[in-house]
Amino acid sequence: MTDHRLKLAKGILDSIFYVTDDLDDRAKQDGKYTDEEIALLNNINTNIIKYYNLIEKFIEDDEIDDEENNKMISFENRIIEDAKTMANKDGEVSSDERALLDSLIESFEQIKTARNEK
């Protein structure tokens, strides 16, 4: 099982910045960035970098134990919750922010699905 977790963690490291690229592409689909989109993207990017660094630290010993796996899952949930909070900071979530949140959630759902495949 730890082999599967290690492989998943390495895969996340290889691909996590595609998530931020996808979000950036989604934000500029309408040809402009709103201040809210920029704030949300900055929040997500900051958390993605922290997540990346966390995983890098965890794979140093070529193993992902239960505690590390649980911390990864918790951090993934934190990224989503922080993004939701940021998007709702002004009391409403715009359609542009909703599209970014949906894309972010979908990306982490794919990781969850991969984690559950053994």
pLDDT per residue, tens digit, the chain (118 aa), is 668 999 999 999 999 999 999 999 999 988 889 999 999 999 999 999 999 999 999 999 999 999 999 999 999 999 999 999 999 999 999 999 999 999 999 999 999 999 888 6
Residue whose pair of structure tokens reads 């490291």 in the numeric block: 13
- Distance separating alpha carbons of residues 115 and 93, to the nearest angstrom: 30
pTM score over 0.95 = no
Strand, helix or coil for residue 89:
coil
- Distance separating alpha carbons of residues 69 and 37, to the nearest angstrom: 30
